[in-house]
Each structure stands twice: as structure tokens, then as C-alpha cells.
Amino acid sequence: MLFTRLAPVLISLLPVATANEARDRAEEGLLTLQDWYNDGTGLWDTIGWWNGANCMTAIADLASIDPSVMETANYVFNNTLIKAPPQNPHPGPETKANAKRDFVPRAVSSANVSDWLDSAYDDDGWWALAWIAAYDVTEDNTYLSLAEDIFAALTKAWGTRCGGGGLPWNPTSDYVNAITNELFLSVAAHLANRVPSRKEDYVRWARKEWDWFAAQGFFGENNTINDGLLDNCQNNGQTVWSYNQGVILGGLVELNHASPNNTYLESANTIAKAAIATLADSNHVIHDFCETSSCEPDATQFKGIFMRNLLMLHSASPHDLYKSVIVNSAESIWKRDRNEQGQFGVNWAGPPTMGKLDASTHSSAFDALVAAASL
Ligand SMILES: *[C@@H]1O[C@H](CO)[C@@H](O)[C@H](O)[C@H]1NC(C)=O
Ligand SMILES: *[C@@H]1O[C@H](CO)[C@@H](O)[C@H](O)[C@H]1NC(C)=O
Ligand SMILES: *[C@@H]1O[C@H](CO)[C@@H](O)[C@H](O)[C@H]1NC(C)=O
Ligand SMILES: *[C@@H]1O[C@H](CO)[C@@H](O)[C@H](O)[C@H]1NC(C)=O
């Protein structure tokens, strides 16, 4: 355990939240998060474009178990769809997004997909997952169609470099990183379970991505996933980030649901256990390595993404260890990482004054509270 010194108190000795308390805490976390929501931009002040997609996903996930927040969630989906596009840092070229796709023709979406592409393929993947989460709780096809359009644009980026496949990080980079490819897998697998008429296409893409991913050098020692590949396509030894151990879990759970194969959940369980062994402290609270220096600007978001996906695995393949990590991380956030304004900091073992606190640190912790409320 790497972070033992950061969390000297045995949280397991404390009483943990009841189901109702866990939900109340998540609701309070949402109220605080919305202090940062800017009605004019449709995004959350203090954080970037891709972080917004993760805020929206967490809100949708809470709405899926807590009807009392549905009104807030609907407002965010509606408002963000309309207001956020001008905030896109680098809107995607329409020609690329609308290029002829190798899918069956479908009804045209009222949203403009170019608005949601920003030439960073991982960002596009986050928004696709966010709109799928919005679809899951609203059944509004506008959101699902938008996610399909984003995915169709991403398929154009399928590369030829390492192992003759995978997506690079962005159109002008040769960097083949884990997150972009995990997101591609997860979006494809989610769509396979939601679009019956194109299920086979989406299963085919998800399988293709997973078979490719598993055959590359992303996995380092101890079954953890490093950040990406070197120019020669070998593991680059870069940081084992929590989100890279997370997105793959949700992707494999969805793929297993769409096209069952025991190896998918076996792989997911191996990755999840390895991640917990590497990233959890002795109280089963998750950390990222950056916390001892600085996680800004992006890594402040990562842990919540891991928790969201660990919950998905726990739902499909329950394990006491996963439950303990979810419960104890949420408990620690609430008891040790919350300031007087109810905002959560970057280090879930606390205190909230460690590092800069913003809508990213808060929404990441909020994701963990939503996971705990969903158990
Ligand atoms: C906005 O949300 C409401 C539900 O609150 C829904 O009926 C309506 O269709 C949504 N509008 C758009 C433009 O998506
Ligand atoms: C979609 O968005 C792109 C980029 O902002 C813009 O160039 C294009 O005109 C839009 N298309 C439609 C049909 O509104
Ligand atoms: C793998 O685990 C061993 C034993 O815990 C540890 O010493 C080593 O640093 C780990 N390797 C990586 C890349 O995390
Ligand atoms: C299950 O998945 C594994 C790994 O992708 C693959 O090698 C195997 O052929 C699959 N089994 C079936 C029955 O499709």
C-alpha cells in the first residue's frame, strides 16, 4: 500500500452511512456542484470542456437512482445541449463528422455533432458517454443519436500504427494512449446495448478495440495500465492513473452484456483488483500518484471516473473488496475531505485544503458519493 502515511485513521472503525444517508450526501454534493454551473455557458466554472462531460455523467447517474434530482438533471441536459457548443475549444470539422459512415442510415439528429468534437478524441469519447448517460435517464433519442454521431466520427480515426489499429490521441499526434482507446471501447459497448438495429456493428467495434488493446503493451507490471505507448509501440511506463484502470471496467461490463464471454469479466476483475492494490490506501480510499505534488489541471477528475466504473463492475460481478473501496472512499470524502462550504478536495483522505479545490475536485468526489448511494 503506497499511501498508508496519508491516512493514519482507521475509517473501517467508524460507522458508515446508511443507504438514506448515502443518498442525502450525494444530493448535497450535487447542490454544491451546481453552484459552479454556469447557465450561460452550459458548463461548470473553474473547469474545462471534457470535465463538463464528467459532471454531466455523474449527475445523470445520480438521477438514475434518485428521482428527486431528475429536474436538475433535465435542466442540465437541455441547457448544456444548447449553450455549451460555443465553448467547444476546437469545434470538429463538419466534413469529417458527417463523412459517409459504414452504418445503416439513420434518422438525422437535431444536435450538430461538430459541436461536440474538439479534435481530442478522448474529449469526444467523454461527451459520447455523457449523452448516453443522459439518454439512459430521459430516453430522449436526441441524446442517443448525438452519441452515435460522435462515435461514427471516432471510427474515422481508427489508426494503423501500433498493431495495425487503435486510435491516436488526436488527429495531429502519433501518441497512442490508453484512455482514448478505453473510451472508444466503452462508447461502442454502451451503444451496442442501446441501439438494437446496429448492435452487431457496435459489438464488432468494441471487440475489435478490446482484442487490439489487450494485445498491445498498455499493461505494465502487476496488471495495471500505464498511460500509453512509446513511438516503438512498447509500454511507455508513464503514470498508472486511476481513470485508466476505470473506463476499461465499464467498457468490458457493457461488452459482456451485449455479447457475453467469460473472459471479459475475468479481465475486468483482474484489472480492478490490480488497481485497488496499487491505488488504494490501507483504509481502502483511492488515490492518484499526483496528490503528493499537484494533480492540476486534468488529474483532479480521474478518481471519480474510476469509482463510477468500479460500481459498474460491482453491479455485474459483486465483490466485497469493491464495495469496501466504494463505501470507504465515500465515507472518507464526507468526513475528511469536505470544507465548510460542502466542497470536496483532491485528496479523499483529506484535508480539503490540500491542493486547489474546484468543480473538478468536487465533481470527482461527487462521483464517488453517487457510487456509494447506488450500492
Ligand atoms: C427538456 O426537458 C424536458 C423535461 O424536463 C423535456 O420534456 C424536453 O423535451 C427537453 N427539451 C429539449 C430541447 O431537449
Ligand atoms: C454544425 O457546426 C459546424 C461547426 O460549428 C458548422 O460549421 C456547421 O455549419 C453546423 N451545421 C449545421 C447544419 O448547423
Ligand atoms: C508492482 O508491485 C511491486 C510489489 O508491490 C512493486 O514493488 C512495484 O513497484 C510494482 N510495479 C509497478 C510498475 O507499479
Ligand atoms: C472470448 O473472448 C476471448 C478474448 O477476446 C477470445 O479469444 C475468445 O475467442 C472469445 N470466445 C468466444 C466464444 O467468442
pLDDT in tens, 215-274: 999 999 899 999 999 999 999 999 999 999 999 999 999 999 999 999 999 999 999 999
- Burial of 166: CB neighbours in 10 Å, binned 0-12, 13-18, 19+: buried
In-domain check, residue 165 = yes
CB 249 within 8 A of CB 313: yes
As given in the structure block, the three cell numbers for residue 229 are: 505507448
- Are 268 and 317 in contact by the 8 Å Cβ rule? The answer is yes
Q: How far is the CA of 50 from the centre of ligand 2 (A)?
A: 20
5 lies in a domain?
no
Q: How confident is the model at residue 16 (pLDDT cuts 50, 70, 90)?
A: confident
Instruction: Please report whether residue 23 resides in a domain.
Output: no
Q: How far is the CA of 134 from the centre of ligand 1 (A)?
A: 11
For residue 199, the domain's CATH number is 1.50.10.20
- Residue 268 belongs to a domain: yes
Q: How many alpha carbons lie under 13 Å from residue 181 in its C-beta half-sphere?
A: 29
173 lies in a domain? yes
Q: Which atom of ligand 4 is nearest to the CA of 210?
A: 5
Using CB distances shorter than 6 Å, the residues near ligand 4 are 211, 261, 263
Q: Is 109 in the pocket of ligand 1 (CB under 6 A)?
A: no
Full-model pTM:
0.92
Among left, alpha and beta (phi > 0; psi -120 to 50; other), residue 355 is left
How many domains, the chain?
Answer: 1
Report yes or no on 60 lying in a domain: yes
The span from the CA of 129 to the CA of 323, in Å, is 24
Print the domain residue range for 331.
30-373
pLDDT-derived band of residue 360, with 50, 70 and 90 as boundaries? very high
Q: Which residue is closest in CA terms to ligand 1's atom 1?
A: 78
**Separation of alpha carbons 98 and 183, rounded Å:** 21
In a domain, residue 18? The reply is no
Residue 335 has pLDDT above 50, yes or no: yes
- CA distances to 42, 60, 142, 272, 294 from 94, rounded to whole Å, are 22, 28, 18, 38, 37
Distance separating alpha carbons of residues 287 and 348, to the nearest angstrom: 7
In a domain, 160, yes or no: yes
